[in-house]
Amino acid sequence: MVATPIDSQPVVIVGGGVSGLAAAVRLTSSGIPVVLLEQRARTGGRAASFTDRVTGDVVDNGQHLLIAGYDHTLALTETIGSRHLLRVQERPALLYHHPSRGFVQFTLPRLAPPLNLVRGILSSSLFSFSERIAVLRAGFAMQRNADPRFTLQGAGTVAEWLDATHQPASVRGSFWGPLAVSIMNERVETAHAGAFLDAVRIAFLGHWHHAALVFPQAGLSEIFGEPATRHIETHGGIVRTGAEVRTLTIEQGRVVSIRCADDTEFRCRAAILAVPHTAAAGLYPDRASIPDDLVRMATVPSAPIVSLHLWFREQFMEQDAVGLIGRRIHWVFRRAKHIAVTISAAYDMVDMTKDALTAIAVREMREVFGPGVGTPYHALAIREKGATLSMTPEVARHRPGVKTPIGNLFLAGDWTATGLPATIEGAIRSGEAAARHAQAPC
């Protein structure tokens, strides 16, 4: 038997979430053969949707907050043909509801950074005069980025950064706190400041339009998983769902094949592990060969997100999205036929019953939108206990890079060292970086 030349063997990607799909799209677009193996029955990972059995409506597995500054996300949807399903705000505007001030808006004008941020802060009704001065002080400190405690390599928390920039309690509660919880899916007392600040810089200090919100006009499966799978297969790649990967086969310091639970084996020129942070170490055949960072990541706790989908007889919400300040629910989104509610860092709510969650959401929405909020005739609660890794400073220091000690094995996922919190944008960037390395001559 003649051995198959390594250059003609595929890159095998384990995991069909957003990072694995991004890697496969980049490779197949470059003419590199790919086999993508996904354990579930569909691709897309957490960025997926399904049909609700009661209403027949398409429901996302969880509401993801996207911004125009996520350029890799927008570029990927352009490549796979789903960019038209994303609507971008013409002008960046975050609408909040303040317990005492009512609806308040934070809008950024068409000015070069940091003038856009300065003008936005000075003109926003979200802040009093003294609060504007405090937020400006924090903005200038964020731009200078001079304190090593609050860089990507630093050990500072968001709360410590707020202390260092002398942010009053009112601003923490009305602006920085809600922003940090939404971005980091972690409490400010424990969230890593470096990753948070880099994400904020992308939104507010990159381009005047970067903070504009992006609203999906279809289910996330139609935006990511389905078109990406079509693109991969159209360009010669193979996508196998229901494929449970059991182990890597490593010979002479290289991955030579991937073996599935049904004993199917795929020879490979390189491999990308685009699996959750809890799963990567378990694919190594010999525990002694597992890199220390993967051993540590396997035990890192996850942070939960609760998504609640509510159907009402009468529409009461005119806005696309409203962030709620000082309440137990964090964001309310108007979808085509229902309302989606998001609770980030939902440690104290993830185990609540659907009825209890619904009661809290309806009560707080009535306090915000008025008595027009009726009683939902249908509710669906999605509790993701392992939505993201808990991005603490300790965890951030140990996030692994794309490369591993095995020369042709690479990592991808929002949990790797992307320079961002655990977001769709970070996942896509990591997948594309892994693909660049896997594409290099072996």
* CATH number of the domain encompassing residue 258: 3.50.50.60
Q: Which H helix or E strand runs over 433?
A: helix 424-439
Please state, in angstroms and rounded to a whole number, the distance separating the CA atoms of residues 436 and 274: 14
Q: Is 75 a domain residue?
A: no
Asked whether the predicted pLDDT for residue 203 surpasses 60, the reply is: yes
The confidence score (pLDDT) of residue 3 equals 44
Q: Strands 409-411 and 270-273: what pairing?
A: parallel
The confidence score (pLDDT) of residue 2 equals 37
Residues 40 and 151 in one domain: no
Collapsed DSSP state (helix, strand, coil) of residue 141: helix
Residues 338 and 401 in one domain: no
Query: In this structure, are residues 92 and 66 in contact, taking their beta carbons and an 8 Å threshold?
Result: no
Secondary structure E strands in 71-230 = 86-88, 93-98, 102-107, 213-216
Residues 306 and 265 in one domain: no
Q: How many CA atoms lie within 13 A of 29 on its CB side?
A: 16
Residues 118 and 189 in one domain: yes
Q: Is 201 a domain residue?
A: yes
Query: In this structure, are residues 52 and 377 in contact, taking their beta carbons and an 8 Å threshold?
Result: no
Please state, in angstroms and rounded to a whole number, the distance separating the CA atoms of residues 250 and 289: 10
Residues 256 and 405 in one domain: yes
The confidence score (pLDDT) of residue 64 equals 81
Q: Is 70 a domain residue?
A: no
Q: Is 194 a domain residue?
A: yes
Query: In this structure, are residues 429 and 195 in contact, taking their beta carbons and an 8 Å threshold?
Result: no
Q: Is 68 a domain residue?
A: no
Asked whether the predicted pLDDT for residue 1 surpasses 70, the reply is: no
Give the number of domains in the chain.
3
Residues 348 and 410 in one domain: no
CA distances 364 to 86, 187, 270, 352, 368, Å, are 29, 21, 51, 16, 6
Please state, in angstroms and rounded to a whole number, the distance separating the CA atoms of residues 332 and 253: 50
Q: How are the residues of the chain apportioned to helix, strand and coil, as percentages rounded to the nearest 5?
A: 35, 25, 40
Residues 167 and 204 in one domain: yes
Residue-wise pLDDT for 119-147, tens only, equals 999 999 999 999 999 999 999 999 999 99
Amino acid at 88: V
Confidence of residue 441 (pLDDT cuts 50, 70, 90): low
CATH number at residue 342: 3.90.660.20
Residues 12 and 37 in one domain: yes
Of 374, 389, 404, the residue that ends a domain is: 389
Amino acid at 237: G
Main-chain dihedrals φ then ψ at residue 25, nearest 5 degrees: -65, -45
Asked whether the predicted pLDDT for residue 6 surpasses 60, the reply is: no
3-state SS record for 240-252:
EECCCEEEEEEEC
Q: What tokens appear for 96 in the block?
A: 């909040």
Main-chain dihedrals φ then ψ at residue 146, nearest 5 degrees: -90, -20
DSSP string, 359-390: HHHHHHHHHHH-TT----SEEEEEEEEEEEE-
Of 193, 211, 229, the residue that ends a domain is: 211
Query: In this structure, are residues 304 and 388 in contact, taking their beta carbons and an 8 Å threshold?
Result: no
**Cα dihedral: 371, 373, 377, 381 (round 10):** -130
Q: Is 78 a domain residue?
A: no
Range of the domain at 205: 90-211
Q: Is 120 a domain residue?
A: yes
Residues 295 and 325 in one domain: no
Residues 294 and 416 in one domain: yes
Of 157, 190, 211, the residue that ends a domain is: 211
What value does the mean pLDDT take over residues 280-290?
88
Residues 112 and 178 in one domain: yes
Residue-wise pLDDT for 311-345, tens only, equals 999 999 999 999 999 999 999 999 989 999 999 99
Q: Is 269 a domain residue?
A: yes
Rg of the chain on CA atoms, in Å: 22
Asked whether the predicted pLDDT for residue 5 surpasses 60, the reply is: no
Residues 311 and 341 in one domain: yes
